[in-house]
Structures are given as structure tokens and as C-alpha cells.
């Protein structure tokens, strides 16, 4: 099967989506399929990769920038995969695929979650009517990470097939959790406090008696200036001696920060399959989650602590994260990552479902 993944930022993004597109592609190639990533020209692809990278020209500016060379890449393709949602690039790519007679799969990565749909609804509603609805309804299949996400699409009128396969995670190549030598709890992500539940997490820390408050470290890139808001909230709640903020971390620095953490916390108000959680559990770090699909998937199997996303519940969860049973939960999370969530396993799941729909 020849699969074309269209992702313009395939070689310039540094976030979870960019990394996942590469990991999905490499795992599908290992499974014996042919994968191409079509991306916005201007950057040279890496030389040491099994993935075929094809640069294509784009025209237009910013939000209205669209591919103009995608049709040729689709010659001989069985499927086109489009990533994210609410972008004119996807709208144009879907039109090109329909005209070329190539089926396309949408991989929205939570873009149609009701919380996201409600954000800037005054813009999204006309966009849906003019563009997005046809893209969603015309997809040969929609890839969601967990079955619960189907409801979001069906509420928008989607009636076609779904491919259900979680994101994967790589087995640790170096150090694993050292038992928490750093003594701190860690959060990694972008500073979108509403989405990621950072405001609630800070209130949870404030609810704990001073002697029980953990050393909490928050690391990640800014998002629309909201990192400063989180800093102000830390000051307003009097948590400066307990909570620190830092930049996004990568490579060996990120690995060190993770393996020395006493626990990992990811209290999103909504989410689907956050890569940071997958990375934390793969290292055996005790992890605290809220009821998004990956969190529920792990907790029901004993691989994470699950609490509601309210300050009182999160405060109790922070106590659990520092309890004697935390190490066993972390070990179970690592086992789930190895046995259920490797990239090769999830890629085979995806490919099996995709073939059944052709």
C-alpha cells in the first residue's frame, strides 16, 4: 500500500504532531508499506531516513497558503493522510485528492473536540459550513486515537468509517526512571492554561498544606502569551517557593528532567493522546492524569493515577503520586507502553483497519 502523508510543516515543526508524523511513517515502512511525506518546499530532508520526502510548492500567505504540486505526488497512491483540522491547506488537499480519485484519511488529532470547536466559534461556524464539513464528510475514514473520540465527529454529522489506533511511543534508549532522585513533580507541554489545566493544577497545589506541597516544575513553550499569565497566577497564589517555570527542553536535558522526576502530572481539561504522557509512562514514571481518553486507557489498566480535573481531586492525586504505591503504578505504565503502545504495534493496527476499508 502506498500512503502519502501531507504535512507542510514536516521538516520545520518541533512539536508533538511533527514527531508523530515521522514516527507513524517510519513504523508503517517497517511493516512493509510505502510511505511518502509531502511537505512545503524550502528545507532539505534528512539523508538518513527510510521515509521518502517530497517537497511541493505552495502559494498564498499564512492561513491561506495551499499546495499547488500535490496532484503529481498522488500518482499511484492508495491513501492520502491529512493532519489536524481547520486549515485551508487540508481543504485544498482534499479537493485535489477527490479530483484525482484518491481516497483520503483525516487525522484530526483532537481538532474536532467540542472544546476546540467552541473556541472562536464565530469563525469556526461559517468555516464549517463553507469548507470543513465537506472535508469531514468526504473522508474515506477518520483516524481517532480512542473509540471515545468518535462521538465528537458523529455529533458533527460524520457517518463514515473510523480507524482507531493510539499514538505510539518508543522504548527508552537510555536511562529510565531512577526512583525520583530530583524530588520534584514535572509537567511538560505548551502553556495553554485552560486546555492543559494548569490553572486548576496550581489551585490544587495551593489547597495542600504547605508542608505537603510538592516542588512542581512546569516546562514548555509559550502559547499566545499565556505563559506570563501562568507566572502571574503562581505569584497571586503565593506558590513561588513551590512552583517554577522553565523553557521547553529537548534531547538529553529533557531525558534527565524526566528520569529524575518523582512523578509526572498532566491535568488537561480536554485532550486525546498527549505524547508527553506516553513518554513519561514509557520511562516508568508514576503519572497523574485526568479523564481524557489516554488517561482513562492507562488508569483502567493500572498504569496511571486518574482523578477528576478539579482542584480538590487533583490535590488528592498529588498525594497519591507521592505515595509508596506510586512506583508500582509507574512500572505498570511502562509495561503497558511496551506491550500495547509501541510504534510498530499501533502502526500494524492502523494498517490492518485501513486495508479492510480499501
Phi, psi of 215 (to 5 degrees): -80, 110
pLDDT, one tens digit per residue, over 92-136 is: 999 999 999 999 999 999 999 999 999 999 999 999 999 999 999
CA distance readout (Å), 198 to 17, 63, 159, 192, 240:
21, 29, 35, 8, 15
Phi, psi of 128 (to 5 degrees): -60, -45
- For the chain, residues classed under CATH 3.40.50.2000 are 2-168+342-357, 184-340
Vertex 106 angle, CA 102 and 108, to 5°: 160
CATH numeric code, 184-340: 3.40.50.2000
For residues 262 and 48, which has the higher predicted lDDT (pLDDT)? Answer: 262
**How much is the pLDDT for 174?**
82
DSSP summary character for residue 259: H
CA distance 81 to 282: 27
**How much is the pLDDT for 61?**
84
What residues have CB less than 8 Å from 297, skipping those under 6 apart?
146, 166
CA distance 296 to 311: 19
pLDDT, one tens digit per residue, over 274-285 is: 999 999 999 999
**Range name among 172-176, 235-239, 337-341 with the lowest pLDDT average:** 172-176
Could you please state the CATH topology (level 3) that the domain comprising 2-168+342-357 is classified under: Rossmann fold (3.40.50)
Q: Is 17 a residue whose pLDDT tops 90?
A: no
Q: Helices 311-321 and 198-207 sit at what angle, rounded to 10 degrees?
A: 70
Q: Is 13 a residue whose pLDDT tops 70?
A: no
In the block, which residue shows the cell 505526488?
A: 73
Q: Is 14 a residue whose pLDDT tops 70?
A: no
Is 295 within 8 Å of 289 (Cβ atoms)? yes
Q: What is the pTM of this model?
A: 0.93
Amino acid at each position: 500500500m502506498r500512503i502519502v502523508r501531507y504535512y507542510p510543516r514536516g521538516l520545520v515543526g518541533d512539536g508533538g504532531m511533527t514527531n508523530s508524523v515521522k514516527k507513524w511513517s517510519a513504523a508503517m515502512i517497517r511493516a512493509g508499506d510505502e510511505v511518502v511525506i509531502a511537505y512545503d518546499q524550502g528545507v532539505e530532508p534528512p539523508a538518513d531516513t527510510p521515509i521518502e520526502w517530497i517537497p511541493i510548492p505552495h502559494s498564498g500567505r499564512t492561513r491561506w497558503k495551499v499546495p499547488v504540486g500535490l496532484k503529481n505526488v498522488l500518482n499511484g497512491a492508495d491513501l492520502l493522510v491529512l493532519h489536524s483540522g481547520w486549515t485551508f491547506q487540508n481543504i485544498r488537499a482534499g479537493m485535489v485528492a477527490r479530483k484525482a480519485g484518491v481516497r483520503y484519511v483525516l487525522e484530526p488529532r483532537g481538532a474536532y473536540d467540542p472544546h476546540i470547536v467552541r473556541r472562536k466559534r464565530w469563525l469556526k461556524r461559517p468555516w464549517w459550513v463553507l469548507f470543513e464539513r465537506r472535508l469531514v464528510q468526504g473522508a474515506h475514514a477518520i483516524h481517532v486515537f480512542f473509540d471515545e473520540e468518535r462521538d465528537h465527529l458523529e455529533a458533527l454529522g460524520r457517518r463514515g468509517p473510523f480507524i482507531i489506533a493510539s499514538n505510539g511511543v518508543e522504548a527508552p534508549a537510555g536511562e529510565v526512571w531512577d526512583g525520583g532522585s530530583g524530588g520534584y513533580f514535572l509537567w511538560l507541554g505548551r502553556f495553554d492554561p485552560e486546555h492543559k489545566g494548569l490553572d486548576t493544577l496550581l489551585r490544587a497545589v495551593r489547597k495542600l498544606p504547605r508542608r505537603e506541597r510538592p516542588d512542581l516544575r512546569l516546562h514548555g513553550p509559550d502559547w499566545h502569551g499565556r505563559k506570563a499569565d501562568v507566572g502571574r497566577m503562581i505569584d497571586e497564589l503565593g506558590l513561588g517557593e513551590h512552583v517554577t517555570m522553565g523553557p521547553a527542553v529537548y534531547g538529553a536535558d529533557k531525558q534527565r528532567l524526566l528520569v529524575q522526576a518523582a512523578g509526572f502530572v498532566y491535568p488537561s481539561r480536554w485532550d486525546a493522546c498527549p505524547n508527553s504522557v506516553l513518554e513519561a509512562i514509557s520511562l516508568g514514571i508514576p503519572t497523574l492524569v485526568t479523564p481524557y481518553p489516554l488517561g482513562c486507557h492507562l488508569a483502567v489498566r493500572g498504569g496511571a493515577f486518574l482523578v477528576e480535573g478539579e482542584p480538590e481531586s487533583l490535590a488528592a492525586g498529588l498525594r497519591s503520586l507521592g505515595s509508596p504505591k506510586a512506583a508500582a503504578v509507574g512500572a505498570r505504565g511502562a509495561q503497558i507502553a511496551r506491550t500495547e503502545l509501541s510504534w510498530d504495534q499501533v502502526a500494524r493496527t492502523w494498517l490492518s483497519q485501513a486495508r479492510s476499508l480499501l
